[in-house]
Amino acid sequence: PRVVELDRKQPEFTLTYKQYMQRVTPESRVKKGRKRLKENRKILAEVSKKYGVQPQFIVAFWGIETDFGRVTGGFHVIPALATLAYDGRRSKFFRRELFFALQILEEGHISAKSMVGSWAGAMGQSQFMPSSFTGYAVDHDGDGRKDIWTTKPDVFASAANYLSKYGWRGDERWGRAIKLPVGFDQELV
């Protein structure tokens, strides 16, 4: 019941953009991100060079998705996906995700007991849905497992690979502050 309840009240659909941004990017998280960037500089540089995604954006992705690995979800992925596949609202989507999750288990990347994530089945420190995992997760440390749950090199490389495959342009900048013209309707922000 809790999974279905959360599916109906996703914060992305109930908050304004401003409220959402205040929630996901408070100054404390920005500060923590700068610290994590320094702490992981070597592996981030290596991953950045390979995938063309700047280190600060890999860390931002990590920070927004899971507060740098601190909040990865408390739901067992298989039962959550099975519930949503049965629920009916988006059953086709979640049934497909369930089969991808079972494939991940079969390949031995993680045990069913350890496969914990969000109520919607998003997993690990990069919060990949199972289909994203099968398409973009990377075994960067070469241990034979794509471990987006506990292995930072795999987490960072997987996030960078995801962004790269979706057309990330490392030679372009975005997200710059702008100055609005005098008299601009602030309600539109």
Cα–Cα distance measured from residue 166 to residue 123, given in angstroms and rounded to the nearest whole number: 19
Chain centroid, CA 9 distance in Å: 19
Task: Reply yes or no on whether 97 is catalytic.
Answer: no
- Ordered DSSP codes for 19-49: HHHHHHS-HHHHHHHHHHHHHTHHHHHHHHH
Residue 57: which of 186, 168, 182, 185 has the closest Cα? 168
Instruction: Look at residues 18, 19, 31, 22 and name the one whose alpha carbon lies nearest to residue 63.
Output: 31
Closest residue by Cα to residue 156 from 30, 31, 25, 57: 57
Spatial distance between the Cα atoms of 151 and 139, rounded to a whole number of angstroms: 9
Which is the catalytic residue, given 65, 97, 106, 107? 65
Distance of alpha carbon 9 from alpha carbon 46, whole angstroms: 39
Residues written for the chain: 189
Catalytic positions are 65
